[in-house]
């Protein structure tokens, strides 16, 4: 097949894309792009064997029908700087390879995440793992930000003191908070990156990791734009109905009254609402 060089991807290699207050994502390397996907699907050699429209149609067909192996032929390697609490969510996606900076060997930097005032919120009353959408009073938000900053400074000062006293780095680090920034190299194929993005671009994902997902997707578009366009159309903006929901939809199309109720009806209506918003 030969090496697939993608001009747009080449233009952003090693460029830092900022995320949050001190984080970033860099595309370190990539293997293949749209061309590699269609070549792999056809098991053919050479380039330009099909038209752009035919290649795009093949990519659409593969995604719609969950033929995932051709997308695994495209691999992206990222250098990411992110808060530890985001990293702990991130590694739930185990279909990748990563190498993280070690606090056992390195002196950790005095880098901590502090949310913007508009991102400080109370616990949601209807979402056990999320924050309220209502804005907090600005004075209270700044008070919370100051408290977070003070705690971080105190924790890092204690860490530095232990290191200066010669305490083992692997012990000195253990009281550092989840807001501390870490760094890693993260390598993943396009199929599994799409799985990551489907979950982490969702409105229910925590905002901080969602912002990283937004940047990852923008970078992926440079590497495999046709694949990303198809992913956005068929998966990201698509809606999956259960058997009962599909029957409800058919009843409505037939002009009949619905049968769903309670939470089941709420979930169905939310899917229709999200589809209209897309």
Give pLDDT tens digits for 171-222.
999 999 999 999 999 999 999 999 999 999 998 899 999 999 999 999 999 9
Write down the H helix ranges in 51-168.
Answer: 52-64, 84-90, 138-164
Mean pLDDT for the stretch of residues 142-156: 97
200 in active site: yes
Q: Say which residue the tokens 């692997």 belong to.
A: 170
CA dist 82 and 90 (Å) reads 10
- Report CA-CA distances (Å) from 77 to 47, 53, 92, 125: 24, 29, 18, 39
Per-domain residue ranges of the chain: 1-112+180-238, 114-178, 243-277
Question: pLDDT tier at 140 (50, 70, 90 boundaries)?
Answer: very high
What confidence tens digit (pLDDT) does each residue in 244-259 have?
Answer: 888 888 888 888 888 8
CB-based contacts of 227, cutoff 8 Å, min separation 6 = 33, 34, 37, 59, 63, 71, 74, 190, 220
Question: 45 pLDDT exceeds 60?
Answer: no
Q: Where do the DSSP E strands lie in the chain? A: 16-19, 23-31, 75-83, 97-100, 181-189
pLDDT at 266: 82
CA distance 140 to 44: 62
pLDDT at 199: 94
Angle at 22 between CA 102 and CA 123, to 5 degrees: 95
CA distance 259 to 252: 10
Output the pTM of the full model: 0.89
Span 112-129, pLDDT tens digits: 999 999 999 999 887 777
The CATH architecture that domain 1-112+180-238 belongs to is 2-Layer Sandwich (3.30)
Q: Name the one residue in this structure whose structure tokens are 């033929």.
A: 67
Spatial separation of the C-alpha atoms in residues 151 and 112, rounded to whole Å: 10
Length of the chain: 278
Q: Evaluate if residue 48 carries a pLDDT over 60.
A: no
Task: Point out the catalytic residue in the list 36, 173, 200, 226.
Answer: 200
Report how far residue 16's alpha carbon sits from residue 158's, in angstroms, rounded to the nearest whole number. Answer: 31
CA distance linking residue 277 with residue 274, whole number of Å: 5
DSSP label of 173: G
Query: Band of the pLDDT at 2, cuts 50, 70, 90?
Result: low
**Helix, strand, or coil here: 143?**
helix
| Structural tokens at position 205 | 């994902």
- C-alpha 83: how far from chain center: 14
Q: How far is 265 from 78, CA to CA, in rounded Å?
A: 41
Tell how far CA 232 is from the center of its chain.
Answer: 14
């Amino acid at each position: 097949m030969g090496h697939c060089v993608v001009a747009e991807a080449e233009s952003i290699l090693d460029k830092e894309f900022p995320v949050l207050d001190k984080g970033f994502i860099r595309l370190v390397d990539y293997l293949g792009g749209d061309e590699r996907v269609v070549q792999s699907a056809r098991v053919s050699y050479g380039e330009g064997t099909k038209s752009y429209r035919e290649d795009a149609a093949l990519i659409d067909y593969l995604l719609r029908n969950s033929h995932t192996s051709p997308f695994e032929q495209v691999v992206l390697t990222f250098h990411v700087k992110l808060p530890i609490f985001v990293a702990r969510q991130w590694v739930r996606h185990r279909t990748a390879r990563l190498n993280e900076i070690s606090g056992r060997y390195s002196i950790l930097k005095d880098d901590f995440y502090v949310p913007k005032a508009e991102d400080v919120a109370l616990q949601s009353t209807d979402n056990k793992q999320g924050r309220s959408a209502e804005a907090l009073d600005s004075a209270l938000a700044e008070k919370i930000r100051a408290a977070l900053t003070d705690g971080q400074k105190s924790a890092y000062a204690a860490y530095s003191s232990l290191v200066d006293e010669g305490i083992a780095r692997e012990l000195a680090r253990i009281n550092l908070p989840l807001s501390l920034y870490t760094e890693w190299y993260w390598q993943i194929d396009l199929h599994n990156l799409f799985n990551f993005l489907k979950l982490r671009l969702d409105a229910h994902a925590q905002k901080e990791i969602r912002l990283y997902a937004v940047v990852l997707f923008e970078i992926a578009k440079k590497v495999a734009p046709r694949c990303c366009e198809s992913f956005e159309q068929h998966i990201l903006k698509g809606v999956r109905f259960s058997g009962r929901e599909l029957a409800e939809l058919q009843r409505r199309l037939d002009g009949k009254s619905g049968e769903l109720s309670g939470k089941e009806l709420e979930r169905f209506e939310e899917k229709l609402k999200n589809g209209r918003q897309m």
